[in-house]
Structure 1
Amino acid sequence: MSWREKGQRVRVLLSQADWYLCFGVVFLLCVLIGLSMAVMKLNAVLNDADALPIEAVAIKGERLYTDDKEIQIALQDLMQRSFFSADVTQVQEALEALPWVYKASVRREWPAKLKVYLVEQKPVAHWNGDAWLNIYGEVFDAPVKEGISNLPLLTGPEEQSKSVLTTYQQLGELLRINGFNLQSLSLSPRHAWHAELNNGIKLELGREDKMARIQRFIHVYPKLAKQDKQVAIVDLRYDTGLAVGWDDAQKESR
């Protein structure tokens, strides 16, 4: 074979190679365009609230203070989205923003339902007048609801809410097993404790030895109760004794 024939054959092979390469590139582009269009179409369908709407929201968990209407209002904008485009984190945050909801968990359930589990706040005390304390000693704000039993009145610096609740539980238990009922407890800015029983007796406990001073009151009270006068206040801020203010004396001083 001459050099001329070899050159012609090489040119033919290169020409065929260019053709196959061009065909392959065009085919690949067509495939990529087709896939892109399919992805865009699928994305449009998944985000179309009319095509894949959220048809139901199933709410579970014991609810005493949060009604269905509050939940509907909280979710009304988020429910306009499709089943797939709805952000469960946003749904959770919207529910947890409700005043009586402590925690919410949300998950999707095919084909068109959201399942929600709610945990409500459990109030154990009034805090600083218009707020509440939950079972963890955390402060929360919520409107008053029917069905809430009489709760103790606790007051103190905001950052001391857990300490005040713990102290109330400790003192309250000691008083309860001895026939008394602790109605309110206050911690002053100077960290002095003030208590009041449900029979109106006020106890000044000071800053230290709260349990010992309560025990001293319990021990002495039977003797005080024998008096003809009504006890108004008992000052227990002494190392060994106490001072008593009588109800009649309180009235005369006014």
Structure 2
Amino acid sequence: MSWSDKGQRIRVLLLKTDWYLCFGLVFLACVLIGLSAAAFKLNAVLNDADALPIEAVAINGERNYTADQEIQVALQDLMQRSFFSADVNQVQQALEALPWVYQASVRREWPAKLKVYLIEQVPVAHWNGDAWLNTYGEVFDAPVKEGIPNLPSLTGPEAQGKSVLTTYQQLGELLTINGFSLKSLSLSARHAWHAELNNGIRLELGREDSMTRIQRFIHVYPKLAAQDKKVGVVDLRYDTGLAVDWDDAQTESR
């Protein structure tokens, strides 16, 4: 075979190689375009609220203070999205922004439902007049609702809610087992404790040894009750003894 024949054969092979390469590239481009178009179409369908709407929201959990209408308003905009495009984290945040909701968990349930589990705040005390304390001693703001039980009134520095609640529970337990009921407890800016019982008696407990001072009051109260006078304030800020302020007269018992 001459060199010219060999050169011609090489050119033919190169042309065939180029043709296969071009065909392969065109085929790959078609596949990529097709996949992109399919992905675009799928994305459009998944985000189409008319094609895949959220048909229902199932709310579970005990609710005493959060109405269905409040939940509907909170989720109104989010419900305009499709089942797949709805962000469950945003739904959770919208629900937890409701004043009486403590915690919310949200998950999708095929084919068109969101399942929500709500945990409400459990108020255990009024805090500084217009707020509440929950069972963990956390402060929260919420409107007054029907069905809230008669709760004690606690006051103190903003960051001391948990401390005040703990002290209230300790003192309240001691008083309750001795026939008294603690109506309110206050911690001043100087960290002095002031208490009021349901019978109207006010107790000045000072900064320390509040449990010991409450026990002293319980021990001496039968003697105070035997008097033909109404007890107003009992000052227990003494190492021993106490001072009594009667409603109709003032005297001291030491």
Could you say which TM-score interval applies, normalised by the shorter chain?
over 0.9
Aligned pairs for 1:23-172 (under 5 A) are 23-172=23-172
Partner of 1:10: 10
CA distance, structure 2, for counterparts of residue 212 and residue 173 of structure 1:
14
Partner of 1:179: 179
CA distance, structure 1, for counterparts of residue 90 and residue 191 of structure 2:
41
Task: Give the ranges of 4+ consecutive aligned residues of structure 1 lying more than 4 Å apart after TM superposition.
Answer: none
Kindly state the Cα deviation for residue 189 of structure 1 after the two structures are TM-superposed.
0.3
- Counterpart of 1:98 in structure 2: which amino acid? L
SS in 2 for 1:50: coil
CA distance, structure 2, for counterparts of residue 77 and residue 172 of structure 1:
46
Question: How large is the RMSD of aligned CA atoms in angstroms?
Answer: 0.6
TM-score (structure 1 length as normaliser): 0.98
Partner of 1:189: 189
SS in 1 for 2:249: helix
SS in 2 for 1:98: coil
CA distance, structure 1, for counterparts of residue 43 and residue 108 of structure 2:
18
Partner of 2:247: 247
TM-score (structure 2 length as normaliser): 0.98
Structure 2 residue ranges without an equivalent (≥5): none
CA distance, structure 1, for counterparts of residue 160 and residue 45 of structure 2:
53
CA distance, structure 2, for counterparts of residue 120 and residue 249 of structure 1:
48
CA distance, structure 2, for counterparts of residue 35 and residue 2 of structure 1:
50
Structure 1 residue ranges without an equivalent (≥5): none
CA distance, structure 2, for counterparts of residue 149 and residue 110 of structure 1:
40
Kindly state the Cα deviation for residue 134 of structure 1 after the two structures are TM-superposed.
0.3
Q: Percent identity?
A: 85
- Counterpart of 2:139 in structure 1: which amino acid? V
- Counterpart of 2:237 in structure 1: which amino acid? R
Kindly state the Cα deviation for residue 4 of structure 1 after the two structures are TM-superposed.
1.2
- Counterpart of 2:152 in structure 1: which amino acid? P
Kindly state the Cα deviation for residue 249 of structure 1 after the two structures are TM-superposed.
2.1
Deviations 1:178-225 (A, max 9, x none): 000000000000000000000000000000001000000000101111
